[in-house]
Amino acid sequence: MFTQDHEARPLTLTLSEHAKKRSQQRSIPEAVIDLLLDFGYEAHLGGGVTSFSFCKRGWKIAAKHLGQKAKYFERYRSCYVVVAEDGTIITVAYCH
């Protein structure tokens, strides 16, 4: 499901119960989480925690990857995901 090509991170990431609940409450599909992990800007927050969010360049590449479907994902441009160093996705949310 969530695969990474980065050597420092585990190959498989798992959603925590909190992340599952928040993604459902906030109507953020797993496809968006995949896009964030693949094309999002990676920011190290300290304590082994990393966030992924779309910057202009990252969104442009993701939109190119999505093709005509990109217009349906436009509403998720302001999303971010937080990942622990053990490969657990901690939360998913919208930037305000």
Count: domains in the chain? 1
- The predicted model gives 26-54 an average pLDDT of 94
Residue 44 within a domain: yes
pLDDT of residue 84: 95
CB 42 within 8 A of CB 52: yes
Helices and strands (H, E) in the chain, number of each type: 4, 5
- Sign of the four-CA dihedral 10, 11, 13, 14: negative
Q: How confident is the model at residue 45 (pLDDT cuts 50, 70, 90)?
A: very high
Quick check: is 8 in a domain?
no
Asked whether residue 2 carries a pLDDT value surpassing 80, the answer given is no
Is position 33 within any domain? yes
46, part of any domain: yes
pLDDT at 9 over 70: no
Grade residue 96 by pLDDT with cuts at 50, 70 and 90. confident
Indicate if the pLDDT at residue 14 is higher than 70: yes
Q: Check whether 73 has a pLDDT greater than 60.
A: yes
Q: How many CB atoms lie within 10 A of CB 39?
A: 20
